[in-house]
Structure 1
Amino acid sequence: MSYQALYRVWRPQRFDDLIGQQVVTRTLKNAIITHQISHAYLFAGPRGTGKTSAAKIFAKAVNCHHSQDGEPCNECATCKAITNGQLNDVIEIDAASNNGVEEIRDIRDKAKYAPTQADYKVYIIDEVHMLSTGAFNALLKTLEEPPANVIFILATTEPHKIPLTIISRVQRFDFRRISAQDAFDRMKYILDQKQVTYDEKALWVIANAAEGGMRDALSILDQVLSFSDNKVSLDDALLVTGSVTKQLLKQYFLQVCQHEGATALNTMKDILAEGKDGQRFIEDLISFIRDVLLYQESPELIKVESTGLKKEDFQQLSQAASSDILYQMIDELNNIQEEMRFTTHPDVYLEVLTIKLGQVGQQATAPVSQSISQSVAPGVSNDTINKLQQEIQQLQQTVKQLQEAPAKNARVSTPVRQKSEQPRVQQKKVHVNINKVYPVLENATRQDLVKVRDLWGDMLNMLSVPQRSLLHVSQPVAASAVGIIVAFDYPFLFQQAADDTTLLKNMEDALQRLTGNERQVVFVPKDKWPQIRRDFLQDHGYGKKNSQADKQSGSPTSQTSAAAPAVSDDEPPLPPEEDAPVEEASIKDKQVAVAQKLFGSDVVKIENN
């Protein structure tokens, strides 16, 4: 039989074998014991924490007829078939490669059939966040109204990518990262069962390098065993993981704390010469400084044997630098780690890092006037020193006066500069296409405008969020059966909207869906809209017709203005809501009053046409 990796051979087969997930295992076991089994579960958590293993164990436990305390027996034919992946009623699906709608529809159709061998048909969908939107929608109905004797178990490392409609229909279990202690204990148990010699310090190095993943820890352990001929030593573990020995880290840390930059550079070069990874070096150094910080706060917080150092070493390290200096060091390490991500020359960044760390907490140099006596050559008289100190004091006073002077000069010269200088940014000239405005105005009616305003909110909801934000400072001011005119409060927003062809097309499509008619959308600035209306009325002779009719018939201007489109030629212009002439409104009021007097107010019904 071919060789199998450790994480496959030692895969958990019972809930008690799962490492570091006591809350999850206890809940699942109690659900099986009390027969409170849900139709769908979501297992979320980092990689290598036991999500798929827990799903398989759960599938065995719900179908095992000899289970005890919620644990599968692993001896019956059903348990063995599920362990070997040979039971047709337990289906494992990789959503990364089966993420389409057709695959999920096939699952939905087959789920309707009863299980053939087991009590429950269990679907385990791994990496479920990779499903497409259509696939999620196809799965949604099945999760909402599942067939009898069907259980869905969804596993994912990125639960934030799963729609909330799916999450609300499942029981969610969050798997936490495996602690270094739990990973160490598990590897120690496996090596004892395999009767392999090992160094406990090497296991701690592997446990820390795994970063919370039990599968990663076993993979690294497998690699170390292959490298070192079936034994686990500290040097081999450091070499395989790319980690740095604790003694080298201690030496480097003490050197930068003592501001010995040149010596620390040599130590860092020795570390890189041994083939250590630059990123791993920074991670190990951050973890090292973190241990020192915790030891400074409370020595009980650190398990000394897990760090590879002695208690005397931590006592020395905690006195080498204050907590403030350690905070600054961690900040520098985080910054360099981010910059090193995509570089092919990590040694350059590490050299800069070493120099920066060596300067952290270094006291500022003494003032020149105090240290000048220490820097002059021997034999210089005290009179010369005193004279130099006086000149330095005068220079310092002059510098202080110059620093205060710009503020005063700025206050005096600012108005002059504002008058003389031209603005650097010239406002773009606003241009309105009259050839598009006039065709809309020629057929504009009050009814069309009212209809468009009633549908304006619905039209905005059909646009994207940026487009809605742009149109929030606009409103329709005229409308006809062939188009609408939209006025913007600010000229620069009008220009931005006029240049956006996508916005115009989306608005026209939305209006066509809402009204059933094709309408052209035209933008105008609000401050130019009154002049555009007056020019239109004068160009089309509405004002002249009204004045001639007034002279011939003696009737008010408002009675003949009905021939003009639904725009107002008053000066100053009325708001769009008040475009109807005041005289026409007063005549209508008189007519209503006469009708009420003749027929009674309870009979007369007023309707706006």
Structure 2
Amino acid sequence: MSYQALYRVWRPKQFDEIVGQQVITQTLKNALITDQISHAYLFNGPRGTGKTSTAKILAKAVNCEYSKDGEPCNECSTCVAINNGSLNDVIEIDAASNNGVEEIRNIRDKAKYAPTEAKYKVYIIDEVHMLSIGAFNALLKTLEEPPAHVIFILATTEPHKIPATIISRVQRFDFKRIKAKDILEQMEKILAAKDFKYDDRALKVIAKSAEGGMRDALSILDQVLSYSDDQISYESALQVTGSVARDDLQNYLQAVIDDNVETGLQLVQSLLDSGKDANQFIEDLIKNCQDILLYKQDKQMISENELGLLGENFEKVAQKVTAEQVYQFVEILNEIQQQLRFTYHADVYLDILTVRLANQFKNGDVKPEPEAAVKPVESKVATQQINKLQEQINRLTSELAEFKNSASNNAVAERPGGRVPTEDAPEQPKVDLKKVFGVLKNATRSSLNEYQGQWNDLMQLLTVTQRALMHVSKPVAASDSGIVVAFDYSFLYQKAGTDTGLMDALENGMDQIFGKVPDIIFVAKEEWPGIRKEYLANNPNLKNHNKVETKPTKEPEENKTVSKAKELFGNDIIKIEDN
């Protein structure tokens, strides 16, 4: 049989074999033990963290005839068929190349039919975020009401591209990056099984270069195994990963700190001649600067995170630089890294980098000094700056007061009567009376009751900020085509009227709850009685119209009802209104 890559040979076949995702695997096992299997799952996380492997194990576990403690047996015919990829009831789909509506409709149509061999029909859709909007819509109904014999497992590295309607219908599991320590232990286990000799430092370099991905680590290990003759050496791991040895990084930093530009340039040239990538060199320098900052805060933590690969001179270099100098180093490194993207002459920019870093110390921009000497100076400088800023604030305050007085006098002189609006009495925003009167013309009590009855439901569809703005509002008049909303405070009504995001959210909510989008007019509560009175004054025929529509024959019945109500409840709490 032809050679298989390590990540394929050592792909987990049980939940306990998945590295670094104990919370997720234990949750799934408990769900299987208690028979609380969901109809749809979403596995999200960085590449190579075990999403697809977990999906396959879950497909085996729900269909295994002899599962124990939530784990598949991997021996029955169903488990063997799934491991071989030959079971028709477990369907794997790559959404990157099958992202159209027709493909998803085909899945939806076939999902209706019962499984032929297994208990459940399982669809594993990898990179599901690549589906088109139409495909998501085609999948939505099936996810909402799937057949009892179907389970969907969606996997993605970019969950933000999946519609919220899909996410709300699945159980979501977030796979995290695997710790370098766990990756290291897995590689040691694999090499022990292969009886292959290795340098501990080489495996640590690979584990750090994998950046939390088990599959990436095994791919790099595969390359190093091919590169090495009889054992995995530290040098071979550095060559394959393109990383720079920690000692070389620290020798470089030591050179620029000591203003030894010549040595720094020689180190750069030597690294480039040995085939190191300029971008990788800068990445390693930035990572080394991060390690220095963390080392100054917690020495034990950085040693564990870096698996002890700090280098011989790390502590010596870390003690020579201050945190402020490291910040400046990182800024310069980021700037050079951006410039490297647009050049074919990386050596030129690395030479410039070396000179600039050395000049940070030579020019005395930030000189390393003992902490005891720095603190009094910093305190004195801070006091001087505070006093200077206070003087500027006082001067600006005085100038602002003079400007306001001058503007006020000019406004009084220019306006008839010498009256101007002040900050204590700001001009109120104007209400669009034409729109309000349009609503009042066709307003009905039934429309108002409908909006008032579901106003709280509408508020629940808004964001927390939008609800905070609308919590002092309520509908006061409504028709089929419009609604008037009164605010307790005029400044909130003014703010709401200029918030386009809020208006969009209200219109969407109206459409969702009431099935229509009426015109929404905001008014201040204190202005509403005057607006209503003005409308009635402009439409005197409303009173006559009410009198004409009132039938005398019904008056005795109404009076009788009112009398009975007063008899039962008393005159004080009875309020009679004309509808």
Q: TM-score range by the shorter chain?
A: 0.5 to 0.7
Give 5+ residue unaligned stretches, structure 2.
366-433, 443-536, 551-579
Question: 1:148: Cα distance to partner?
Answer: 0.8
Give the letter aligned to residue 51 of structure 1: K
Question: 1:130: Cα distance to partner?
Answer: 0.4
Question: 1:363: Cα distance to partner?
Answer: 4.4
Q: Secondary structure at the match of 1:13?
A: coil
Structure 1 partner of 2:177 = 177
Structure 1 partner of 2:8 = 8
Say whether the 8 Å CA contact 1:279–1:337 is kept in structure 2: yes
Task: Tell me the alpha carbon deviations over residues 319-360 of structure 1, each in whole angstroms, 9 at most, x when there is no partner.
Answer: 121111112212222232233234332222222222222122
Distance 1:315 1:95 in 2: 49
Task: Tell me the alpha carbon deviations over residues 171-206 of structure 1, each in whole angstroms, 9 at most, x when there is no partner.
Answer: 000001112111111111101100011111011111
Say whether the 8 Å CA contact 1:95–1:127 is kept in structure 2: yes
Q: Does 1:130 align with 2:75?
A: no
Higher mean C-alpha deviation, range 296-305 or range 347-356: 296-305
Structure 2 partner of 1:165 = 165
Structure 2 partner of 1:308 = 309
Q: Does 1:355 align with 2:300?
A: no
Question: 1:261: Cα distance to partner?
Answer: 2.4
Task: Tell me the alpha carbon deviations over residues 28-82 of structure 1, each in whole angstroms, 9 at most, x when there is no partner.
Answer: 1111011100000000000111100000001111111211111111111111100
Distance 2:545 2:277 in 1: 98
Task: Tell me the alpha carbon deviations over residues 412-462 of structure 1, each in whole angstroms, 9 at most, x when there is no partner.
Answer: xxxxxxxxxxxxxxxxxxxxxxxxxxxxxxxxxx9xxx89x99xxxxxxxx
Higher mean C-alpha deviation, range 334-343 or range 138-147: 334-343
Distance 2:276 2:341 in 1: 16
Question: 1:22: Cα distance to partner?
Answer: 0.8
Question: 1:230: Cα distance to partner?
Answer: 5.3
Task: Tell me the alpha carbon deviations over residues 362-408 of structure 1, each in whole angstroms, 9 at most, x when there is no partner.
Answer: 4449xxxxxxxxxxxxxxxxxxxxxxxxxxxxxxxxxxxxxxxxxxx
Give the letter aligned to residue 101 of structure 2: V
Distance 2:338 2:73 in 1: 49
Distance 2:122 2:39 in 1: 9
Distance 1:363 1:352 in 2: 16
Structure 1 partner of 2:402 = none
Structure 1 partner of 2:527 = none
Distance 2:362 2:123 in 1: 62
Say whether the 8 Å CA contact 2:30–2:70 is kept in structure 1: yes
Question: 1:266: Cα distance to partner?
Answer: 1.6
Say whether the 8 Å CA contact 1:99–1:135 is kept in structure 2: yes
Say whether the 8 Å CA contact 1:295–1:314 is kept in structure 2: no
Distance 2:199 2:342 in 1: 35
Say whether the 8 Å CA contact 2:247–2:313 is kept in structure 1: no
Alpha-carbon distance change, 190 to 67 in structure 1, aligned in 2, over 3 angstroms = same
| RMSD, aligned CA | 3.0
Q: Does 1:269 align with 2:269?
A: yes
Query: Considering only CA atoms, is the larger Rg found in Structure 1 or Structure 2?
Result: 1
Once the two structures are superposed, the pairs formed by residues 330-479 of structure 1 within 5 Å of their partners are 330-364=330-364
Match of 1:602 among 540, 547, 551: 547
Structure 2 partner of 1:146 = 146
Structure 1 partner of 2:218 = 218
Alpha-carbon distance change, 221 to 601 in structure 1, aligned in 2, over 3 angstroms = closer
Give the letter aligned to residue 145 of structure 1: E
Distance 2:295 2:44 in 1: 34
Distance 1:154 1:342 in 2: 39
Task: Tell me the alpha carbon deviations over residues 518-554 of structure 1, each in whole angstroms, 9 at most, x when there is no partner.
Answer: xxxxxxxxxxxxxxxxxxxxxxxxxxxxxxxxxxxxx
Distance 1:604 1:27 in 2: 69
Distance 2:222 2:47 in 1: 18
Say whether the 8 Å CA contact 2:123–2:152 is kept in structure 1: yes
Say whether the 8 Å CA contact 2:128–2:154 is kept in structure 1: yes
Distance 2:32 2:331 in 1: 49
Distance 1:601 1:200 in 2: 95
Give the letter aligned to residue 259 of structure 1: D
Structure 2 partner of 1:83 = 83
Q: Does 1:282 align with 2:282?
A: yes
Tell me the number of residue pairs that the alignment of Structure 1 and Structure 2 aligns.
389
Question: 1:263: Cα distance to partner?
Answer: 2.1
Give the letter aligned to residue 308 of structure 1: L
Structure 2 partner of 1:109 = 109
Give the letter aligned to residue 48 of structure 1: G
Say whether the 8 Å CA contact 1:93–1:123 is kept in structure 2: yes
Higher mean C-alpha deviation, range 72-81 or range 253-262: 253-262
Q: Secondary structure at the match of 1:603?
A: helix
Question: 1:211: Cα distance to partner?
Answer: 1.3
Distance 1:251 1:219 in 2: 30
Q: Secondary structure at the match of 1:239?
A: helix
Distance 1:301 1:604 in 2: 84
Alpha-carbon distance change, 602 to 208 in structure 1, aligned in 2, over 3 angstroms = same
Alpha-carbon distance change, 195 to 600 in structure 1, aligned in 2, over 3 angstroms = closer
Alpha-carbon distance change, 344 to 111 in structure 1, aligned in 2, over 3 angstroms = same
Question: 1:246: Cα distance to partner?
Answer: 1.6
Question: 1:600: Cα distance to partner?
Answer: 9.8
Distance 1:185 1:138 in 2: 44
Say whether the 8 Å CA contact 2:303–2:310 is kept in structure 1: no
Structure 1 partner of 2:48 = 48
Alpha-carbon distance change, 292 to 603 in structure 1, aligned in 2, over 3 angstroms = closer
Distance 2:341 2:284 in 1: 16
Alpha-carbon distance change, 354 to 600 in structure 1, aligned in 2, over 3 angstroms = closer
Q: Secondary structure at the match of 1:88?
A: coil
Question: 1:267: Cα distance to partner?
Answer: 1.1
